Amino acid sequence: MTTSPLSVAVIGAGMAGRSHAAAYRQANTVYGPGLPPVRLAAIADANLPLAEDAARRYGYERALPSWEAVVDDPSIDAVSIVVGNDLHRPIAIACIEAGKHVLCEKPLAGSLEDARAMAAAERGAGVVTAVGYTFRRNPAIAAIQRHVRDGELGDLTLFQGRYWCDYACSPASPLSWRFTGGSGTGALADIGAHILDTAQLICGPIASVSGAQLSTQIGMRPLPLGPVVGHNAAPVSDEHGEVGNEDTAIFSTRFRSGLAGSFSVSRTAFGMPNALGFDLFGIAGRAGFDFHRPAEYFFDDRQANPRTRGGRQVIVGPQAPYFAGGYPMEAPGVGGGTAEMFLYEIRAFLEQIASLPDPLPQNASFADGLHTMELIDAVVRSAGSGGAEVPVPESTHQS
């Protein structure tokens, strides 16, 4: 058992930063011995009152006004980077150079160039570097991954994935950092990154992209008059600025195995607040998942009782990965959701740092994060060339 405390800091006190803050706070309590004891050292945000509020609520020792203050503090061992994507590169590289372990939120970076620099910094870094693909730890998704790995669906024939949200449906939503990058930095990077990672976790690497179309439904948005947190409404000016990236993307893929995939991603999908989902077919079975019902999945195979042929909803419980030992109430049917997925992600990060002998599967690496960025770039290039097939470079690491 590891006894020396690990000092952690969260950079970003916004929507996702609070999920990291809560997960570090719970990790020792829920998982008990084995993990290094966590010292909740600091939460940093350029919006200091927001950092102060988060530090007080989640029991962190200090609130800091900048990410630089975290980098400059030699007592901090590990850092979550949970700010807008353009800031990931400078913060991650400064943390690595300061000898701190880094868990960076997805997408890895605000641009492909930044992602390449981060993946280069990861090589030989001497610290743990990880990317926050929370859905990897959903027990139902992990159970489907296991069915496929064990050949229970037979050879795969089709993957159809989606991530639909509606946070950008209102034209009154302010022009926050989410809307200001170039093509590929909108819905594709924000939510598409998750379904692309999930698809590859289950079906293996994607080799090429084709038939892409990007579109923007709301081209101008009001400028915010103050800080914006997550997708929240905020006071806005009468002045408007141009939205620089896509609200919606559709595209097809070919996996390295030869499997065909199709994807749709949108932040203007009315009535769908947070709908990651997919259907997966094989010659001997099929599986499906919809995050609106995160504690269950659909499964059908040839072993089905003839009287219930046609498949069934499986309620996840301790028989699924990431469940036993991971929930305060670990019983079938108790559900699970985003908070648990963040908790598992933080647990995996802490286990990686502590080099535990029998850890959870590791988090995605920066190399994996770069691969998703290469995929997003291929979608953009396919869309820019009338839907042409664009190859995706092979990843240097698939976790």
Interface residue list for ligand NAD (CB under 6 A): 11-17, 44-47, 50, 66-67, 82-85, 87, 105-106, 132, 134, 190, 227, 229-230
Q: Are the C-beta atoms of residues 365 and 129 closer than 8 Å to each other?
A: yes
Identity of the residue, 14 or 36, whose beta carbon is nearer to ligand NAD in the bound complex: 14
Q: In 10 A of CB 399, how many CB atoms? A: 15
Minimum gap (Å) between residue 283 Cβ and ligand NAD: 33
Minimum gap (Å) between residue 228 Cβ and ligand NAD: 6
Minimum gap (Å) between residue 331 Cβ and ligand NAD: 26
Minimum gap (Å) between residue 385 Cβ and ligand NAD: 27
Identity of the residue, 218 or 229, whose beta carbon is nearer to ligand NAD in the bound complex: 229
Q: Are the C-beta atoms of residues 211 and 163 closer than 8 Å to each other?
A: no
Identity of the residue, 94 or 367, whose beta carbon is nearer to ligand NAD in the bound complex: 94
Residue 191: helix, strand or coil by DSSP?
A: helix
Residue 357: helix, strand or coil by DSSP?
A: coil
Minimum gap (Å) between residue 4 Cβ and ligand NAD: 28
Identity of the residue, 207 or 276, whose beta carbon is nearer to ligand NAD in the bound complex: 276
Minimum gap (Å) between residue 329 Cβ and ligand NAD: 23
- Looking at residue 365, its amino acid is S
Query: Distance between terminal CA atoms of the chain?
Result: 26
Q: Looking at beta carbons, which residue is closest to ligand NAD?
A: 14
**CA nearest 31: which of 317, 328, 354, 337?**
328
Kindly state the tokens that stand for 42: 């600091």
Identity of the residue, 198 or 268, whose beta carbon is nearer to ligand NAD in the bound complex: 198
Q: What is the dihedral of CA 95, 115, 139, 340, to 10 degrees?
A: 40
Identity of the residue, 82 or 380, whose beta carbon is nearer to ligand NAD in the bound complex: 82
Minimum gap (Å) between residue 191 Cβ and ligand NAD: 9
**Residue that has been written with the tokens 């102060």 in this structure:** 52
- Measured distance CA(332)–CA(91) in Å, rounded: 41
- Measured distance CA(290)–CA(140) in Å, rounded: 10
Contacts of 255 (CB under 8 A, 6+ apart): 159, 200, 203, 204, 205, 206, 207, 261
Identity of the residue, 180 or 382, whose beta carbon is nearer to ligand NAD in the bound complex: 180
Residue 344: helix, strand or coil by DSSP?
A: helix
